[in-house]
Amino acid sequence: MAQINIQLPDGSSKAYDVGATPYDVARSISEGLARQAVAAKVDGSLVDLSRALEHDASVEIITLDSPAGLDVYRHTTAHLMAHAVKDIYKDKVQVTIGPSIQNGFYYDFYSPEHTFVPEDFIAIEARMQELAKQDLSVQRSEVSRQEAIELFESMGESFKVELIEDLEHETVSLYQQGDFVDLCRGPHLPSTAKIKAFKLTSLAGAYWRGDEKRPMLQRIYATAFPDNKQLKKYLLHLEEARKRDHRKLGKELDLFSFSEEAGAGLVIWHPRGAMLRTVIEDFERKEHIRRDYDLVQGPQILRTDLWKTSGHFDNYSENMYFTDVEGQGFGIKPMNCLAHMLIYKSKMRSYRDLPLRYFELGTVHRHEKSGVLHGLTRVRGFTQDDAHILCTPEQLDSEIKAVLQFVQDVMGIFGFEYELEISTRPEKSIGTDADWERATKALMTALEDTGRTFEINEGDGAFYGPKIDVKLKDALDRHWQCATIQCDFTLPERFDLHYVGADGEKHRPVMIHRVILGSVERFIGILIEHFAGNFPLWIAPVQAIVINVTDNQHDYALDVARRLRDAGVRVEKDVRNEKLGFKIREAQLQKIPYMLVIGDKEMESETVTPRFRNGDNLDPMSVEDFSAYEMQECHKYH
């Protein structure tokens, strides 16, 4: 029989018969590898272990302990869930799509006759367990588009038919386990028996293909792990995340709210929440001024013609809101860069003026579909700590490095670790290939020179330039995209920005778009969950609360609160005629750092007795000493 040459990841190669499979390759290496194998990469493409090898190729065996292997495992479990749902609900349900996602998977179902509820999960999980134990072979087949259309039409699966009709390929791949067939590219596990541990976690609604004009689907979220130990650990982690949910804590701590009367995705800040963001914004202003940024502010709406010049109208208009004023079109700003360029253009600039760093806490509005809105982390109106640096090409490297240092300093103050990635040119973009190459190289060089490791995120840059994305890691090891550094040669060209160089000629500046926290709303949502509402003293919206024991200390308590407020302490008072234990417990639930208990003893000695929110007590001290103590504690953080 003819043979082919298979190259392995360690550089070695082996000869195999034509038609051998990746599973055969795994077995030839070791039985242990074959047991752990779930898929393979053939010439860089993920395939099933059963795929026949017809020519010389490189083969890498994918195991369950790799991200790619876990992704295959979860995608197969998504099919298992759809199989179980179809077994239970029969023709009442149509299946649509079911991808793996970070930490799990979901499947969307169309079922006007049945509304899923969490109580349904018990029966679905039980059926999934039965199907897994049946050790059903998961088999791939390729058929013509027409055959596939006829098959799914006969099954009453109209959503699958629509998907197939939109495909350009003449053949499509199907996967079958038992009597369940699904449209899928694959790859998948070879058998349902390899699925060991899973859990259905939540329900949500989703429009078919993300279009609110199309049918509403029911989405079942779930997760899956190689064993029950890992699953249990994740579920405990999930429970902790629920406790820390910023939407829940935001209500309990009276920080913010949303109202259908106001409109979806629009935050209403309550006094404590407004104080929290004010503290953070004041910190931001001071840090930017210290680094030689100029504070600026642009209008909320700008003429539509300006958005056409920038390229936003052609490349971003679906995310914008527009209005008409006296027959003139205006766009409500989704970004702050245009006004900053107009400031630059307001007079002639010399190379001696550069770099110019414009900083604005700019409120922007973006059209987000209602289905993706999520508390503070995905809203329609938000404030960015936005800055634009206009510099000479020679200054670009040092400016990028300075922003990277700025990010490091700020994330250190808040106690966040983070990872970096460079997002490259998207399909929908403006600018020349040469400018994109220069911009991408500038970002990579800055990271390499400073010794920072990074990943490449292909095709996810801004439409006007590549960017460095900063993904911070919170207390639950979740990653959040916040800071970004974007390098832009294109918009300065479109707006004809220039400066006079040392040679007396006009030259084009480079623009860096950057945020440090990103959206203030989003960052606060992350902070709430990171600290579980127990904010560090320096950013706590209420740093101390004065609590009297009886009405006898009422006037002294009010005087203490006034003196602390005069000293700069963010203080509240609770002088209600309630039991001391009740008031202390309520203050603890509000996660206020310090409770200042005042009884007759404190009133006579003109002192306060501080009690920390964890129950620890400090010795009685004067109001002035407590103010000084608090100031010292704040300086530990900032």
Provide the annotated active-site residues: 337, 366, 384, 386, 388, 467, 513
**Can you tell me which residue has the tokens 């579980």?**
532
What whole-number distance in Å separates Cα of residue 624 and Cα of residue 606? 10
Residue 355 corresponds to which tokens in the numbers above? Answer: 């770099």
Per the DSSP assignment, residues forming a β-bridge with 389 are 357, 512
What whole-number distance in Å separates Cα of residue 460 and Cα of residue 440? 12
What whole-number distance in Å separates Cα of residue 441 and Cα of residue 419? 19
> By the 8 A CB rule, do 330 and 320 touch?
no
What whole-number distance in Å separates Cα of residue 80 and Cα of residue 233? 22
What whole-number distance in Å separates Cα of residue 3 and Cα of residue 532? 61
CA-closest candidate to residue 20, choices 7, 3, 37: 3
What whole-number distance in Å separates Cα of residue 78 and Cα of residue 187? 13
> By the 8 A CB rule, do 450 and 397 touch?
no
For the sheet with 13-17, list strands across it. 13-17, 3-7, 57-63, 37-42, 45-47
∠ CA 588-593-596, rounded to 5°: 85
**Can you tell me which residue has the tokens 């596939």?**
148
**Cβ-Cβ contacts under 8 Å for 149 (sequence gap 6 or more):** 161, 164, 165
Question: How many helices (H) and strands (E) are present in the chain, helices listed first?
Answer: 20, 32
The alpha-carbon radius of gyration of the chain (Å, integer) is: 30
What whole-number distance in Å separates Cα of residue 432 and Cα of residue 448? 24
> By the 8 A CB rule, do 467 and 444 touch?
no
CA-to-CA separations, 515 to 310, 328, 424, 484, 526, in angstroms, rounded: 19, 31, 18, 6, 16
- Residue ranges with strand state E in 366-443: 381-391, 417-423
Q: CB neighbours (10 Å) of residue 431?
A: 19
The 8-class DSSP code of residue 617 comes to: B
Q: Give the H/E segment covering residue 108.
A: strand 104-110
Q: Crossing angle, helix 271-290 and helix 520-530, to 10 degrees?
A: 110
CA-to-CA separations, 540 to 253, 279, 395, 534, 566, in angstroms, rounded: 11, 8, 38, 8, 17
- Residue ranges with strand state E in 111-153: 139-144
> By the 8 A CB rule, do 184 and 173 touch?
yes
